[in-house]
Amino acid sequence: MKSLDQMHDHLLAKSAQDPEFRQALIANPKEAIGKELGIEFADDVELHIHESDMKSLHLSLPFDGEMTEEQLEAVAGGLCCCMG
């Protein structure tokens, strides 16, 4: 499995080169990312896609709390719980 940074870079590059993928990513990020990377997200995971432009910038802050036992097990098992 790719690292989180590699997955992130792949999604950004593909969205810049493939307008259909970009629209799918905006319309249904879980489905688009799942199909592209072959991963499945838990129902309680929310994905938010933001398009930057010349007047809007978006900053994603890292998680600052403690992880649940389930989240720790997922990370230890190589699963990705978020895109950053």
pLDDT digit string (tens) for 12-69? 999 999 999 999 999 999 999 999 999 888 888 888 898 888 898 887 777 777 777 7
46 Cβ contact partners less than 8 Å away, ≥ 6 residues apart: none
Confidence of residue 84 (pLDDT cuts 50, 70, 90): very low
DSSP per-residue string spanning 6-23: HHHHHHHHHHHH-HHHHH
- End-to-end, the C-alpha distance of the chain in Å comes to 16
Q: What is the pTM of this model?
A: 0.67
Distance CA 59, CA 23 (A): 21
Q: What are phi and psi of 22, to 5 degrees?
A: -60, -45
